Chain A
């Protein structure tokens, strides 16, 4: 499916989870007076900008984009350009808050520990699923308005992408999104971009594994030290399972080869 068809599909069949932002964000709408010329093709579209987006997509993406991965990169570049066009930090913050306004409500039922994005100073929840076309669909929320803006921006880039395209993104790709703070790559634990992207990628891996019939592992936390013992979980458990699986498979393969060699050598000696 090329990007034009993809975009058309989405216009005709928009994200069923998208709703207008709740009333608490309306005060932010009144303050923000920016209008977007182009919004990403696969993100939930705000009515009024949909026609503009489709026209822009129809003009640009069909001829220029070679793959869905390029669509992600294009959206990322355009987002980066959008923020770079605002020289004042406070204007970039206002733009973030406008994006935050766009986030649909996050179901309370999804505010569960496994959906928490670790590493952020604010609370961030992220849920992911595959839609009928096998594309990633994300929803996010946070108790911080600015963080909600970060989440909305990221979702606008990757929502509707294939899992492989989400996995292909690197945190360094977000370095140009100099929204707030010092430009460049920040490895601080307050780097929401990085933390949310990592969580998105973890979800993509889990969904791919589920599709291949492999069991899913819990994501968080990593290692728990409690009164009932020390148990591995999350990424630590992932690594353990992978390592154990790899070692077991390797051991089996080596022992099989050794058995064949033994049998062959025995027969050779007898002959």
Chain B
């Protein structure tokens, strides 16, 4: 059965990356995939054999590129941004400078085409029909699941549950695993820097079950205090909920260590990878997390789709979250039996096009190479941080980058005596710069810092240093505007 294969090598910008590699003599294309390692972005360490369903074998092709030692040509951002049509527009007569990627990312033509092609040639409901279109749609949908499994090195594609987004994924774990496994006196450990979506579902289920939430604060260096977390773990701890990369601090946590410590006391770990999966290689087997959540729209995929990764043994023991079609095995008048995971947690008609779009996004990102994206963003991260901190009266939250401490390419900041909303408004109205202002769905963290809101600039691999320069200059002028 033909799968919907969209080869990144056809794509103009990625071809330019290819030609740059050729001129440097570092081309190592891998245009066909054997069963050994379909994703060249995943290291061999910790890789276990993955079972594949014979009905959904993938013939996906990926193109790998060796890192360029030195490029005389333009940066990754400058090469790749032509793939993103939305970036070409003007705002109030100025070129759009989009620096709100932690909120949502922009979509390349590759993903837009996949969505369009699905509706033009394959649209049909999945898992339900024997006709041609249904088979075609089902194959494409399940191929997308396989791509996600490959992308994060899950041991089996059945460990991937499609959800509407990471928020729904966390709610699924809270209402299914949490409802079954939490009891009176149990503790859920979180950091004070968690996203609301990682906090509120646990408040709700803890209230129902008589459990409690405990929060880990920050160090003087403004990263979650890992030593405090280690000490807070006890036999009462049933779950640790933590981010991988903070959407406000830009800090990166040592998840492998956290998982080791948590498992020693019998606690599970749920990892919010919304700000890490789009920007770096994430290997769930290496991290050994029990659950992981991510959203498609933050990684060049469409909105309306995300996923939950859960270890097979955990998902198998969890009761359903939503009831309806697809998730059942047999339905009688007074009871029903349920399907195996992941179908057990995918009630109703799924977001088929969106899942396929996410699969295309993963192909696109893999074609560039997650290591390359990560390395480029590290450069941008340091550049952004030092550029911002060079402006007087600007306070950036989170750790200072160093050899040991890596920051994500985002900075939340405040300017003395000027509200972040005012800053963001002028940046938008006068300079075409899009940043976020508010609490970034991290009110506890802002309360911890004693502020109500902050501004945030967050970059992705299609941003450039020139855009950072434009933002910094615009910020200086905005500060001047309010200071006269």
Residues of A in contact with B (beta carbons under 8 Å apart): 27, 30-31, 89-90, 93, 121-123, 142-147, 180-181, 190, 225, 227, 230
Contact flag A90-B419 (CB < 8 Å), given A27-B484, A143-B452, A225-B203: no
Roughly how many angstroms separate A221 CA and B92 CA in the complex, as a whole number?
37
Cβ-based interface call for B371 (8 A): no
> Which of A30, A144, A145, A230 counts the most chain B CB atoms within 10 A?
A144
Selected contact of A89 from candidates B92, B207, B482, B483, CB within 8 Å: B92
Smallest Cβ distance from A198 to chain B, in angstroms? 19
Selected contact of A144 from candidates B204, B421, B484, CB within 8 Å: B421
Return the 4 tightest CB-CB contacts between A and B, nearest first: A144-B419, A89-B429, A121-B438, A144-B421
User: Using Cβ atoms and an 8 Å threshold, which residues of chain A touch B430?
Assistant: 89-90
Cβ-based interface call for B453 (8 A): yes
Let me know if B426 and A93 touch, CB within 8 A: yes
Cβ-based interface call for B437 (8 A): yes
Contact with A along B388-421 (1 / 0, CB 8 A): 0000000000000000000000000000001111
Contact flag A145-B422 (CB < 8 Å), given A30-B484, A31-B484: yes
Roughly how many angstroms separate A84 CA and B108 CA in the complex, as a whole number?
37
Let me know if B419 and A122 touch, CB within 8 A: yes
Selected contact of B453 from candidates A121, A181, A227, CB within 8 Å: A121
User: Using Cβ atoms and an 8 Å threshold, which residues of chain B touch A145?
Assistant: 418-419, 422, 482
Q: Which residue of A lies closest to B417 (CB)?
A: A24
Let me know if B426 and A147 touch, CB within 8 A: no
Let me know if A180 and B425 touch, CB within 8 A: yes
Q: Which residue of A lies closest to B438 (CB)?
A: A121
User: Using Cβ atoms and an 8 Å threshold, which residues of chain B touch A142?
Assistant: 419
User: Using Cβ atoms and an 8 Å threshold, which residues of chain A touch B437?
Assistant: 121
Q: Which residue of A lies closest to B419 (CB)?
A: A144
Smallest Cβ distance from A127 to chain B, in angstroms? 19
Let me know if A143 and B419 touch, CB within 8 A: yes
Roughly how many angstroms separate A227 CA and B204 CA in the complex, as a whole number?
10
Contact with A along B420-436 (1 / 0, CB 8 A): 11100110111000000
Let me know if A225 and B484 touch, CB within 8 A: no
User: Using Cβ atoms and an 8 Å threshold, which residues of chain A touch B484?
Assistant: 27, 30-31
Given contacts A121-B438, A144-B421, A181-B428, 16 further A-B contacts (CB under 8 A): A27-B483, A89-B92, A89-B429, A90-B429, A90-B430, A93-B426, A93-B429, A122-B419, A123-B452, A144-B419, A145-B418, A147-B421, A180-B428, A181-B429, A190-B421, A225-B207
User: Using Cβ atoms and an 8 Å threshold, which residues of chain B touch A143?
Assistant: 419, 452
Let me know if B429 and A225 touch, CB within 8 A: no
Let me know if B438 and A230 touch, CB within 8 A: no
Let me know if A146 and B438 touch, CB within 8 A: no
Selected contact of B421 from candidates A30, A89, A122, A230, CB within 8 Å: A122
Roughly how many angstroms separate A167 CA and B428 CA in the complex, as a whole number?
33
> Could you jot down 27 A-B contacts, CB within 8 Å?
A27-B483, A27-B484, A30-B484, A31-B484, A89-B430, A90-B426, A93-B425, A93-B426, A121-B420, A121-B421, A121-B438, A121-B453, A122-B419, A122-B421, A122-B453, A143-B452, A144-B421, A145-B418, A145-B419, A145-B422, A146-B419, A180-B425, A181-B429, A225-B203, A225-B204, A225-B207, A230-B207
Let me know if B422 and A144 touch, CB within 8 A: yes
Selected contact of A146 from candidates B421, B439, B453, B483, CB within 8 Å: B421
Roughly how many angstroms separate A93 CA and B438 CA in the complex, as a whole number?
19
User: Using Cβ atoms and an 8 Å threshold, which residues of chain B touch A190?
Assistant: 421, 438
Roughly how many angstroms separate A165 CA and B364 CA in the complex, as a whole number?
56
Roughly how many angstroms separate A30 CA and B426 CA in the complex, as a whole number?
19
User: Using Cβ atoms and an 8 Å threshold, which residues of chain B touch A30?
Assistant: 484
User: Using Cβ atoms and an 8 Å threshold, which residues of chain B touch A122?
Assistant: 419, 421, 452-453
Roughly how many angstroms separate A180 CA and B91 CA in the complex, as a whole number?
12
Roughly how many angstroms separate A30 CA and B438 CA in the complex, as a whole number?
29
Q: Which of B246-282 contact A (CB under 8 A)?
A: none
User: Using Cβ atoms and an 8 Å threshold, which residues of chain A touch B452?
Assistant: 122-123, 143
Q: Which residue of B lies closest to A93 (CB)?
A: B429
Roughly how many angstroms separate A142 CA and B452 CA in the complex, as a whole number?
12
Q: Which residue of A lies closest to B484 (CB)?
A: A31
User: Using Cβ atoms and an 8 Å threshold, which residues of chain A touch B426?
Assistant: 90, 93
Smallest Cβ distance from B40 to chain A, in angstroms? 41
Q: Which residue of B lies closest to A189 (CB)?
A: B438
User: Using Cβ atoms and an 8 Å threshold, which residues of chain B touch A230?
Assistant: 207
Smallest Cβ distance from B441 to chain A, in angstroms? 11
User: Using Cβ atoms and an 8 Å threshold, which residues of chain A touch B429?
Assistant: 89-90, 93, 180-181
Smallest Cβ distance from B175 to chain A, in angstroms? 15
Q: Which residue of A lies closest to B424 (CB)?
A: A121
Smallest Cβ distance from B366 to chain A, in angstroms? 34
Q: Which of B431-462 contact A (CB under 8 A)?
A: 437-439, 452-453
Smallest Cβ distance from B241 to chain A, in angstroms? 17
Q: Which residue of A lies closest to B203 (CB)?
A: A225
Let me know if B425 and A146 touch, CB within 8 A: yes
Contact with A along B358-388 (1 / 0, CB 8 A): 0000000000000000000000000000000
Q: Which residue of A lies closest to B436 (CB)?
A: A121
Roughly how many angstroms separate A227 CA and B426 CA in the complex, as a whole number?
41
User: Using Cβ atoms and an 8 Å threshold, which residues of chain B touch A144?
Assistant: 419, 421-422
Q: Which residue of A lies closest to B453 (CB)?
A: A121
Roughly how many angstroms separate A121 CA and B439 CA in the complex, as a whole number?
8
Smallest Cβ distance from A52 to chain B, in angstroms? 28
Roughly how many angstroms separate A225 CA and B453 CA in the complex, as a whole number?
23
User: Using Cβ atoms and an 8 Å threshold, which residues of chain B touch A146?
Assistant: 419, 421-422, 425
Smallest Cβ distance from B419 to chain A, in angstroms? 4
Smallest Cβ distance from A251 to chain B, in angstroms? 32
Roughly how many angstroms separate A165 CA and B322 CA in the complex, as a whole number?
46
Smallest Cβ distance from B257 to chain A, in angstroms? 31
Q: Which residue of B lies closest to A120 (CB)?
A: B421
Smallest Cβ distance from B126 to chain A, in angstroms? 32
User: Using Cβ atoms and an 8 Å threshold, which residues of chain B touch A121?
Assistant: 420-421, 437-439, 453
Smallest Cβ distance from B271 to chain A, in angstroms? 24
Q: Which residue of A lies closest to B207 (CB)?
A: A225
Roughly how many angstroms separate A181 CA and B421 CA in the complex, as a whole number?
13
Q: Which residue of B lies closest to A96 (CB)?
A: B425
Roughly how many angstroms separate A121 CA and B92 CA in the complex, as a whole number?
23
User: Using Cβ atoms and an 8 Å threshold, which residues of chain B touch A123?
Assistant: 452
